[in-house]
Structure 1
Amino acid sequence: MTIDQIIAFMQDLDGVLVLSPEPGDGSPEISWGDTFFSYSPDVAAPTTAQPFATIVTKNYPGDESSRLDRPDTFRVSIAAGREAFIERTGHAPNEPALDDASGTTDAVRAHPVHGTAGWLAVVNPGPRTEGATYELLRGAYDLARARHERRTG
């Protein structure tokens, strides 16, 4: 899977706002080159909606365990929700991660920073995780859409 394939998949979902910060757009420099997906059916920048998935291409301070400083390495982070998180990891999100190999590629893992909030992560999704990654992205989209609909009536 490539970053472009993931972005194209997300753009095909109704109401997804894709933000890809770049120089000159007012975003923090550290976010340049990364991609953020939010549910925003009016296709305007969300004021309160948090992203339900991201693609990051570099280490952030305090988030180095995925080893995104390797060439051609990126991480898809997904707000999977409690049920999907338990299904994929075998433990509840509020329990500490039992896995210290978050830099492993092509494997679904608890997110190294946001796992306790039900986020999953895949570093360089490939043949073993392509289907699961798309399924988890779709599930996170469904959760974000349902949350939006509850809040807006």
Structure 2
Amino acid sequence: MTEAELIELLTELPDTDVLTADEASGAPEIAWGDTFATYTGAKQPFATIVTKDYGDFDAASKLNRPGVFRLNVAVGRERFTELLGYAPGAVPPGIDYTAFDVVLPHPVYAPQAFVCVLNPGEQARQLIEFAHARAAARG
């Protein structure tokens, strides 16, 4: 799926606020161009689309390559473990965070049960729909 297709999917979900950060949004400049999907009334996004590295803080995916973006999704501890075969706090070393269309632990937010996919295929739809339903259930 393209970045535009993912954003369209997010905007079609009920009770979802989608923001692509820019100067007018008041977001920090480093976030400009990234997209955040939050269940209405929630404080934290259930999905984000990131288009660049965030300095040394979050550079493992090498997003500064042309045409590369990363979908980040909050799936919860149980689903994280089902998808990856280990708990969010037990991420093994040696993961290739630059691999395309593979569900991976988020390089920074895995302990908070976020997974990520670089340039995802159709599996992104299921991840987003699951995270949205989870966010809706949490209110």
Q: Please tell me the TM-score bracket, short chain as reference.
A: over 0.9
Counterpart residue number, 1:85 = 80
In the TM superposition, residue 54 of structure 1 has moved relative to its aligned partner by 0.1
Identity %: 41
Residues 86-105 of structure 1 deviation map (CA, whole Å, 9 limit, x = unaligned): 11110011213344201111
Whether the aligned pair in 1 keeps the contact of 2:23 and 2:32 (CA below 8 Å) is yes
- Structure 2: runs of 5 or more not aligned: none
Counterpart residue number, 1:26 = 26
Counterpart residue number, 1:43 = none
Structure 1 segments (4+ residues) deviating >4 Å: none
- Structure 1: runs of 5 or more not aligned: 41-45, 149-153
What is the identity, as a one-letter code, of the residue corresponding to 1:25? S
Whether the aligned pair in 1 keeps the contact of 2:100 and 2:120 (CA below 8 Å) is yes
Q: Distance in 2 between matches of 1:99 and 1:52?
A: 26
Counterpart residue number, 2:62 = 67
Counterpart residue number, 2:124 = 133
Alignment of 1:45-124 (within 5 A): 46=41, 49-61=43-55, 62-124=57-119
Deviates more, 1:91-100 or 1:133-142: 91-100
Counterpart residue number, 2:11 = 11
Whether the aligned pair in 2 keeps the contact of 1:77 and 1:111 (CA below 8 Å) is yes
Whether the aligned pair in 2 keeps the contact of 1:97 and 1:115 (CA below 8 Å) is no
Q: Cα RMSD over matched residues?
A: 1.3
TM-score (norm 1): 0.85
Residues 63-118 of structure 1 deviation map (CA, whole Å, 9 limit, x = unaligned): 10000010010000000111221111100112133442011111110100001111
TM-score (norm 2): 0.93
What is the identity, as a one-letter code, of the residue corresponding to 1:38? T
In the TM superposition, residue 25 of structure 1 has moved relative to its aligned partner by 2.9
Q: Which has the higher contact order (CA 8 A, sep 6+)?
A: 2
Give the number of equivalent residue pairs: 138
In the TM superposition, residue 49 of structure 1 has moved relative to its aligned partner by 1.5
In the TM superposition, residue 60 of structure 1 has moved relative to its aligned partner by 0.7
What is the identity, as a one-letter code, of the residue corresponding to 1:134? R
